[in-house]
Structure 1
Amino acid sequence: MNMKLRTKPRPLQKLDAAIPRLSPHFQQLPAMKEDAAIQQKGFSGELKVDYYLDYLATNYTILQDVYLRVNGKNVQIDSLVLSQQAIYIVDSKNFNDTITFDTTLKQMTRSDGKVDKGFEYPITQVQNQQFHLQSWLSQHNLPSIPIYYFVAISEPSTIIKVHGDTEAIGKIVAHAARIPSMIMEKEQQITEQSVNKIQDGKIGKIILNACNVFDMDINKKFSIKKMDLLPGVICTECGLLGMERVYGGWRCRRCNMFSKNAHLNAISDYLLLVKPYITNRECMRFLKLSSRNAATRILSKSGLIYVEKGRYWVKQ
């Protein structure tokens, strides 16, 4: 079963929310757009790998986007597949063109035919993840569970080359479509060696309960001040910032689209980018409402909870 499904990473949610609310002249805007594009590419690659791992969901326990605290450090693992015999780490990589693994120098390069660019060696990455996960399991009195790892290349058009030990890389690295069969092949290999069955569902729940959510303060990273974030409701059709409040909803003055609930995205933006709660006054300012009563009605129907002591609204 899929015990933990992947959602868009919170730093990417914040970037997607902030970018449309900044002036085109904001100094850090190009860097933010570049960062968002890189994160979106990684997220898209992970979703492609998830599609194939889902084939295993009937007989295996799957956790996506695992984020654990181990020995004072945060450890992020793209996917864990748990069977009754072992745990499999699957690390997703989304590269185009040609990638080359150098098993002697322990490095990976990507080439578009003109320029070669170096990247952190994926095998070392998953080996580190294996080490940290083993430490975490040991600390939770689960020391005897075998852990194996694979690197999934999400794009089927990506050409994989090897300088050095091709056989060793071929046992670990493959296009995403092959990873489920590689896991099942490994299962067959270790069946005769395995004596004690693992309660994969129970262990999955233990890991799930310990999972945190990866986050990042993009305001600090990109020097965004509260005053830099432009208020208003964004049109979901054409992207215009500044929909007009009309009877029963919102109207875009550029494309004339009408929406009853376009304000929900604006409220979500505020909770992501400014602070995790919102008052009636803040709602009036951010949605550009002239009526306090209108702000109250909108907030009361937005799925938020009103905290009477603090006189603000928060997510459930």
Structure 2
Amino acid sequence: MIIKKRRKPLPLEKLDAAIPRLSPQFHDWQNIKSDAAIMQKGYTGELKVDYHLEYLANQYTILQDVYLKVNGKNFQIDSAIIAEHAIYLVDAKNYSGTITFDTILKQLTRSDGKMESGYEYPITQVENQRFHLQNLLSQQHLTNIPIFCLIAISEPSTVIKVIGDTESLSKIVAHGARVPSMILEKEQQLKQEGYRKLSHRKIGNHILNLCGTFDKNSIKQYNIKPTDLMPGVFCPECGKLGMERIYGSWHCDKCDNYSKTAHLSALSDYLLLVKTLYDE
């Protein structure tokens, strides 16, 4: 059962609300658009991996977008699958082109055929998540629970290459579609080895009660002020800003659309943007 569903990250929600209300002449316009596109790509990759992991929901307990705090430090987990014998942390990565894992130097590079770029080593990232979760569970008196890490590559067309220990990497990294079968195979192995059976729903609910919501000051970091945001109501049909209030409805003079609920989006934008700026 999925007891915590993924939603669009709040920082991305804020940028998506801000971009249509900012002038293209705003001083940080291009950086905002670029950062929003990067966030959206990561979120899209997570949703693609969720699609495959949801096949396990009938057997195990799943938490998506887990945000926890231990020893004064926050950490995030893309997906936590609490199965019958272990917990599996799945980190989704949305890379295109060809990626190369170097197990010796502990680095990841990506090539699009023209340029090669380096990235933080995903296995180190997810191993840190495991370390933090183990500490948190220990503080909650939930001990001796095996935790395994997996990296799910969301794009099936992404080519995965390895420099170094291919065999050990293949047990951790895979395309998203293969991850559920990897978990099922590992569960069968643990069962045969006599690992104790976990109360996965109880453990999942315990973790759920500790979860927070990730947010960051994604508006103030670009020095956006309330006066930079264009007010008004967007037309839900053509997207034009500046609907007029006429006889209990909102009217768009561009496409002649009428709406009784168009203002709800503007209220949502206010809570995400203007209220946030004034409250902080």
Q: Same fold (TM over 0.5)?
A: yes
Letter in 1 for 2:16: D
1:94-148 Cα offsets, whole Å, 9 max, x none, are 0111111011110001100010000000110111011011001001101211000
* Partner residue, 1:120: 120
* Partner residue, 1:46: 46
For structure 1, which runs of at least 5 residues remain unmatched after alignment?
Answer: 279-316
Larger Cα-atom Rg = 1
Letter in 2 for 1:103: T
* Partner residue, 1:283: none
* Partner Cα separation in structure 2 for residue 267 and residue 236 of structure 1: 14
* Partner residue, 2:245: 245
TM-score by length of structure 1 reads 0.86
* Partner Cα separation in structure 1 for residue 257 and residue 156 of structure 2: 39
Q: How large is the Cα RMSD of the aligned pairs?
A: 1.4
* Partner residue, 1:131: 131
* Partner Cα separation in structure 1 for residue 201 and residue 174 of structure 2: 27
* Partner residue, 1:91: 91
For structure 2, which runs of at least 5 residues remain unmatched after alignment?
Answer: none
* Partner Cα separation in structure 1 for residue 126 and residue 60 of structure 2: 20
135-144 vs 232-241, which moves further: 232-241
* Partner residue, 2:104: 104
* Partner residue, 1:71: 71
Tell which has more relative contact order, 1 or 2 (C-alpha 8 A, sep 6+). Answer: 2
* Partner Cα separation in structure 2 for residue 179 and residue 60 of structure 1: 14
CA contact 1:49–1:176 (8 Å) conserved in 2: yes
Aligned residues: 278
* Partner Cα separation in structure 1 for residue 256 and residue 35 of structure 2: 32
TM-score by length of structure 2 reads 0.96
* Partner Cα separation in structure 2 for residue 139 and residue 247 of structure 1: 59
Shift of 1:195: 4.1
* Partner Cα separation in structure 1 for residue 277 and residue 133 of structure 2: 35
146-155 vs 229-238, which moves further: 229-238
* Partner Cα separation in structure 2 for residue 118 and residue 152 of structure 1: 18
Q: Identity percentage over the alignment?
A: 63
Q: How does 1:280-299 map to 2 (within 5 A)?
A: none
CA contact 1:22–1:228 (8 Å) conserved in 2: yes
SS in 1 for 2:185: helix
1:59-95 Cα offsets, whole Å, 9 max, x none, are 0000000000111111000000001211000000001
Runs of 4+ in structure 1 over 4 Å off: none
* Partner residue, 1:189: 189
210-219 vs 245-254, which moves further: 245-254
